[in-house]
Structure 1
Amino acid sequence: MQQSSLDEAVESSPSLRAAFRQAAPAISLYLVFQIVAFGVLWMMSWKADVSPGRFIANFDANWFLSVAQHGYDQPVTLGANGLPVENSLVFFPLYPATVALLTLVGIPPLGAAMTISLLAGCAAAWGLFVLGRDLAGPRVGLLVAVLWSIGPGSTALHLGYSESLLMALVAWTFVLLARREWLAAGGLAVLAGLTRASSGALIAAVGIAALIAVFQRRDGWRPWIGGLIAPLGLLGYFGYVWIQTGRPDGWFWLQNAWQMHFDFGVFTWTQVREGLTSDHASWITVTALVVLAAVVLQFWTWATRLPLPWQIYGTLTVVIALCSSNFFQSRARFLLPAFVLTVPVALMLAKLPNRVLAVLLPVITVGSAWYGAFLLTIAHVAP
């Protein structure tokens, strides 16, 4: 029995190396483009006469670092208006927990956060390459990973934010679903549920995929278990916040401190109209164009032959991103996990020669990097 396990490990090692070699271009380009984007942020910081480290550790990153260092140590208190004041319970625990683990070996909290973001981004690029490759070949896989890593919201990938960790879990969950590894896919969905609230879109996709397998009588009891465990992380954390606040809607109630709630897109479309009709162009105009592009891409994905779980996940992620109030400038970041939007573009760009892509992709990278850096250094708002 032991010899059999040893033989399997020896056999799997070359296949793992081969898989990594296939994904290496996607991972390498991800790293190169993040370096370029960070360089743009550094130059914009230099122009603003502020250290880039201040921006990396600001906004949401500051909250994540606080949780990593101190846990959820803030009491729940009310402001003069009767609503809760800002509280770290809104920020999900998995990302700060991984940061805290790295600090145990002597890495400073900010360095640990950047390390987690970098490694998770590499894992996400690998997973997205596998998804695109299995759908339409290695060239499409490479482009899906690259387009995700240079999208308008990609500034979050080199900040102390949890988007890269969520995307790594999302990508590999879909890889496991395609391979009918139901228990592992459900387990990753549990971890995603401990990362961000938008993981609800992934959990729904896993549930639908499991139901389809059950109705088709495939894989026995495994789809049942995979689908049933998928929401446990998200529900578990909501339950924890319920206990801390004494309210079953505690997490959503705490969001009121940031004026955040689901408003069916009213705030977003008000801001889009302002951005497109204002006398002076600004970051609001750019963000409005990003939102409109996302809507167009969403319709495009519906017209593209994609797996149903991908369609469900992509649509719900876009709905969640565009139907929340406040923080209009963060729409690009909220849309970042919607990797499905990149697929039809990747299918189209795959037909172009390499010399065209060698110009087009760096231009998009610099444009996206400037947009995110401008929000941080000039507009002084969270990306």
Structure 2
Amino acid sequence: MQPSTLDVTAERPTIASVVRSARPALGLYVLFQLLAFGVLWLLSWKAGVSPGRFVGAFDGNWYLSVAEHGYDQAVTVGPDGMPAENSLVFFPLTPALTALLGLFGLPLLPAALTVSLLAGCAAAWGLFLLGRDLAGPRVGILMAVLWSIGPGSAALHLAYSESLLVALVAWTLVAVARRQWPLAGVLAILTGLTRASGSALVAGVCVAAIVAIVRRQDGWRPWLGGSLAPLGLLGYLGYVAIRTGRPDGWFWLQGGWEMHFDFGRFTWIQTLEGLTSNESSWITVTALFVVLAVALQIWAWCTRLPLPWQVYNTLTVVIALCSSNYFQSRARFLLPAFVLTVPLALLLAKLPNRALAILLTTGALVGAWYGAFLMAIVHLNP
């Protein structure tokens, strides 16, 4: 049975040894991203379009706009009383890093893709450390790889924010496991400036801090870490509230995309249709991914894992499955829920390398095909 807490009492390895041990995870991450882009290129070629058309499209266009112009878009309301689509719903850290690289002469789209690539590598490294400290290096490598080839992994080679979000979450959980509370608080601030779903990580850090306080561990540090954690999220939501003149400004602006928290009603209806009556192949495949995610979440609950992991992942899955509209994006919304990979990693770690190579490559091709198919063939936001 796997331990419920990470071992932080062992002697810490040197930086060089940590980098060396993480190289397989990083190498496989880059390899499978290249494979996924190759699949995108093939399907784009079949559709008669360039894959370059997609890497900065969809949500990427909004991030690039913020990186170039800031939040200069006026808040407007349509005849139906609903707000128009507005860049304020896109959190600032990803476009800020993109603009920062742009100051060094890099065009914004390559800068955004560089941020995504480097953040993805940082995420793979952080996931490796989490898995290694939980159950050994093999599980760490598998956690990083399984996350990077998931159905929503197309976002990892686009100008999107998912890779940055997961990088910050993974390293925050590493800091929590090592009881580095001020660092965990600062990283949680940055997570809250990346996506609204960073609220799940904020909750995980606060719960861990409360447990440490109740147990009278680490003195004032968990108080500081828990107090810092929500500041990034609350700060940006406050900024949007001021810009819109409404305390619920960010949530109100989500109405421009017909997005709101509906307790899973939309996902439930779409999943039933995909599994029973809908003839659209992408809806059926997405429905299967939703069912798989729910099964993996139940499996994760039955696995002894650190409490912050369980809190973070449960809330991430709830947020992903309980929002209305954009059913095709459910796999991407679930991408930050990397704890879903842990039960699989623990199981697959028992297999020989040859079997793993076949299974992981097959999984990578399926995940790459799904994202590329949505973009190049169905012409939908992944």
TM-score (structure 1 length as normaliser)? 0.96
Aligned to 1:201: 200
Q: Which runs of 5+ in 2 are unaligned?
A: 1-11
String of CA shifts for 1:179-219, please: whole Å, max 9, x gaps. Answer: 00000000000000000000010000000000000000000
Structure 1 residues 87-125: Cα deviation after superposition (integer angstroms, max 9, x where no partner)? 000000000000000011111111000000000000000
Could you say which residue in structure 1 is the equivalent of 2:288?
289
Where does residue 103 of structure 1 map in the other structure? Answer: 102
Partner of 1:361: 360
**3-state SS of the aligned residue for 1:351?**
coil
- Residue identity in the other structure for 2:33: Q
What is the letter of the counterpart of residue 110 of structure 1?
L
> 3-state DSSP class of the match of 2:151?
coil
1:227 CA displacement: 0.2
- Computed over aligned residues only, the root mean square deviation of the Cα atoms, in angstroms, reads 0.9
Q: What CA distance in whole angstroms lies between the structure 2 residues aligned with 1:263 and 1:279?
A: 22
- 4+ residue runs of structure 1 moved beyond 6 angstroms? none
- Equivalent residue letter for 2:227: L
Residue 281 of structure 1, CA deviation = 4.6
Give the corresponding residue for 2:127.
128
Offset, 1:280 = 2.3
The answer to which of 85-94 and 274-283 deviates more is: 274-283
- Whole-Å separation in 2 of the counterparts to 1:133 and 1:151: 20
Distance in 1, matches of 2:276 and 2:293, equals 19
Q: Percent identity?
A: 71
Provide structure 1 residue ranges, at least 5 long, that are not aligned to the other structure: 1-11
Residue 113 of structure 2 aligns to which amino acid in structure 1?
M
> CA-to-partner distance for each residue in 1:254-279, whole Å, 9 max, x for gaps?
00000000000000000001101125
1:340-359 matched pairs, under 5 angstroms: 340-359=339-358
- How many Å apart are 1:15 and its aligned residue? 1.4
Partner of 2:8: none
Whole-Å Cα distance in 2 between the matches of residues 298 and 231 of structure 1?
A: 25
Paired residue for 1:163? Answer: 162
Inter-partner Cα distance in structure 2 for 1:21 and 1:302: 32
3-state SS of paired residue (2:14)? helix
- Measured in 2, the distance between the counterparts of 1:187 and 1:279 equals 46
1:337 paired residue number: 336
> C-alpha distance in 1, partners of 2:73/2:174?
38
**Take 1:141 and 1:346, find their aligned partners in 2: how far apart are those partners?**
8
CA distance in 1 between counterparts of 2:83 and 2:184 reads: 36
**Residue of structure 2 in register with 1:59 after alignment:** 58
Q: Which amino acid aligns with 1:321?
A: A
The whole-number CA distance in structure 1 between the counterparts of 2:343 and 2:198 is: 23
Query: Aligned AA for 1:186?
Result: G
User: Residues 105 and 357 (structure 1 numbering): CA distance in 2 closer, same or farther, change over 3 Å?
Assistant: same
1:48 Cα deviation (Å)?
Answer: 1.1
Matched positions, count? 371
Q: Report the AA paired with residue 374 of structure 1.
A: F
Match of 2:323 in 1: 324
Whole-angstrom distance in 1 between the partners of 2:137 and 2:182: 27
CA distance in 2 between partners of 1:134 and 1:21 (Å): 15
Secondary structure, counterpart of 2:378 in structure 1: coil
Aligned AA (1:198): S
RCO higher in 1 or 2 (8 Å CA, sep ≥ 6)? 2
| TM-score, reference length from structure 2 | 0.96
Where does residue 8 of structure 1 map in the other structure? none
